[in-house]
Amino acid sequence: MLKVEVRKVDKAYTPKQPVLQQFDLTVMPGELFFLLGPSGCGKTTLLRLLAGFLRPDRGTIRFDDRDVTAAPPERREAGLVFQNYALWPHMSVFDNVAFGLDTRGIRGDSRRRQVMAALETVEMTAFADRKPASLSGGQQQRVALARALAFQPRLLLLDEPLSNLDAKLRDTMRQEIRRICKDAGLTAIYVTHDRKEALTMADRIAILNRGRLEQLGTPEELYRRPRNRFTAEFMGPANFFPVTITAVTENSCTLTTPFGPLTARLPAFPVGPGQTLTAMVRTEALRFVAADDKTGNNVFSGCLAAESYQGENSVWDLAAADRLLHVLESCPPRRTLGDKVRLTIAPEYPVLLEEK
């Protein structure tokens, strides 16, 4: 395990077009840490800086107490797993896994022991003599992972390692990669643009946007309590609507919304009566209630405008107060388009977003 610190790092490939700007980040020992963001946000550049394939224009990178900003890749104790596996087709699985050991001068019994231990970790010992072309995509990804683990790194860097796999294999490999990292006691930094991967695997997630850190937190924090609209939209489907704060108590606030008054939890930033903000509500946080239920708070009416049937779920378009809301309903009953319905939102679900 090691601690990774990135301090005030700038990186540009062309003048006046920075990829990373004054970037700060700390990854704690043993974390499975995700860099999440859209294409071009700087996450792969950051991974290559950590691996030693690039050098920052400014700033420092430290592994524990060691400044590795200018250290070459072979002196960083970091294993890298590529998106496209990068296996040598003419080599056996064993020799592919041994490649990193060979470049470090590890020979003989130690070489064989470390290769077989890495293959055992990824459950590929039976394939040691096979060539990569005879393996499935999932098996090739396991071999690439074994190669990164064979020289016993303290840091594992993964660059969208599951993007070439089908959906079923991705689900399996997500859990396998997390298990392997935790069993090996590795600090791991994982680049992806797939929020589902990040939500299901990460200890913490950094959301990147145009070379800057947008928000940092646990999967639940980023999904349930995003600070701004970019993070809210990137982490999953949501509804956004304007609100005005009418009253503030110790733990909650009352809002005027297009659908009527709502009560919400206080945000992390200070707010006051008369302030106008944007509120976010996740699609699954809206719940149908009986038409004659008049007892609950945060209840409003609307009309079913459209349905997207997904088997176990339906996503409804609900017309309410000249707006269209999206509502995710599990195990949906039969409903008729055009029906008037009533919905409720628990006070913990409306999230007030910071204005940028």
Task: Return phi, psi of residue 318, to 5°.
Answer: -115, 120
What is d(CA 55, CA 232) in angstroms, rounded to the nearest whole number? 32
pLDDT higher than threshold 70 for residue 356: no
Do 317 and 170 sit in the same domain of this protein? no
pLDDT higher than threshold 80 for residue 297: no
Do 182 and 287 sit in the same domain of this protein? no
Do 223 and 102 sit in the same domain of this protein? yes
Q: pLDDT tens digits, residue range 147-189?
A: 999 888 999 999 998 888 888 888 888 988 999 899 888 999 9
Report the pLDDT averaged over residues 9-17.
Answer: 91
CATH of the domain at 338: 2.40.50.140
Please tell me the predicted confidence (pLDDT) of residue 3: 96
Do 75 and 203 sit in the same domain of this protein? yes
Do 243 and 118 sit in the same domain of this protein? no
Q: Which pTM does this prediction carry?
A: 0.90
Tally of structural domains, the chain: 2
CATH of the domain at 104: 3.40.50.300
Single out the residue in 168, 198, 229 at which a domain terminates.
Answer: 229
| Edge-first strand listing for the sheet containing 17-27 | 17-27, 4-14, 58-63, 66-67
Containing structural domain, residue 196 = 4-229
What is d(CA 225, CA 41) in angstroms, rounded to the nearest whole number? 22
Q: pLDDT tens digits, residue range 217-253?
A: 999 999 999 999 999 999 999 999 999 999 999 889 9
Single out the residue in 229, 259, 278 at which a domain terminates.
Answer: 229
Please tell me the predicted confidence (pLDDT) of residue 30: 94
Average pLDDT, the chain: 92
pLDDT higher than threshold 70 for residue 295: no
Do 46 and 115 sit in the same domain of this protein? yes
Single out the residue in 204, 229, 254 at which a domain terminates.
Answer: 229
Do 263 and 200 sit in the same domain of this protein? no
Percent of the chain with pLDDT over 70: 99
Beta strands in 94-203 (DSSP E): 155-159, 187-192
Residue 75: which of 191, 154, 186 has the closest Cα?
154
Please tell me the predicted confidence (pLDDT) of residue 294: 64
Do 316 and 180 sit in the same domain of this protein? no
Do 89 and 179 sit in the same domain of this protein? yes
260-265 and 252-257 beta bridge pairing: antiparallel
